[in-house]
Structure 1
Amino acid sequence: MDRLNKAMETKDKEALARSYATDAVAYTPDQGELRGRDAITGYLMEFWEAMPDVRYNQTGRYESGNVAIDEGIVVGTNTGPLRMPTGETLPATGKQLSVHSCDVATVENGEIASHHFYFDQVEFLAQLGLMRELTSH
């Protein structure tokens, strides 16, 4: 997880990919299950595109055996296109985001084998200014 966080911080695509096993599985609140290193790396890179200044402010870190849990706040400005769970692309809103998150990863042979991403989608959508649009239909 430390290697993953460093790769995210430095936006190092190769180091990001090497953090995951080739057959890793990730579970996300917005895209569901992602299978394989390339799918997971692509998912995370979409956040770089949507928020080039994205950073992770870690507030907690826990390890037990081969499980690592990181808590924090994802902070960034939406200055790039954002792919929505529907497959549509949302144009940049210019809005600042500060979203609470928690990551639970199982590590095998020095690589992440499974990664559960948790973040508050309502908080995310509300800060982008999309809650009214979603509830007005």
Structure 2
Amino acid sequence: MWGAARYAKTQVIQVFMQAVPDLQWKMFGEPIVNGESIAFEWEFNGTNTGPWSAETPATQRPLSFKGVSFIHLKNGKILTQHDYYDALGFNKQLGW
């Protein structure tokens, strides 16, 4: 479990914050809560001014995309989290 959390932090969150340092995250509406399950819609906005990796430099393009997250808790701790978004639209905005 901790390996997955460490991977998410170093390979997803930090990379995204490096690539889009002006990132803005907004949640729409109120989360839907059903027992230990939570769902909510969100949107990311920002400009790709930093590199994604050594092989993928910044595009200097703005991006905006919506998604939804589903979280399942167990004893008040996150057991699973699944995030869904339009990856094709995201890549097209960056010119990939």
Shorter chain as normaliser: what TM range? 0.7 to 0.9
SS in 2 for 1:93: coil
Give the drift of 1:48: 0.6
Q: Match for residue 90 of structure 1?
A: 56
Q: For structure 1, which runs of at least 5 residues remain unmatched after alignment?
A: 1-22, 25-34, 131-137
Pairwise mapping of residues 106-121 of structure 1 onto structure 2 (< 5 A)? 106-121=72-87
User: Identity, % of aligned pairs?
Assistant: 30
Structure 2: which amino acid aligns with 1:49? Q
Give the drift of 1:94: 0.9
Structure 2: which amino acid aligns with 1:64? N
Of the three residues 75, 87, 93, the one matched with 2:45 is 75
Of the three residues 11, 15, 24, the one matched with 1:46 is 15
Give the drift of 1:46: 1.2
Q: Match for residue 59 of structure 1?
A: 28
Pairwise mapping of residues 20-39 of structure 1 onto structure 2 (< 5 A)? 23=1, 36-39=4-7
Equivalents in 1 of 2:40, 2:22: separation in Å? Answer: 20
Q: TM-score, normalised by structure 2?
A: 0.86
Equivalents in 2 of 1:109, 1:79: separation in Å? Answer: 40
Deviations 1:52-92 (A, max 9, x none): 11121111321111111120111111111114xxxx73100
Q: TM-score, normalised by structure 1?
A: 0.62
SS in 1 for 2:27: strand
CA RMSD of aligned residues (A): 1.7
Aligned length, in residue pairs: 94
Deviations 1:3-44 (A, max 9, x none): xxxxxxxxxxxxxxxxxxxx16xxxxxxxxxx5210122222
Equivalents in 2 of 1:63, 1:89: separation in Å? Answer: 41
Moved over 4 A (4+): none
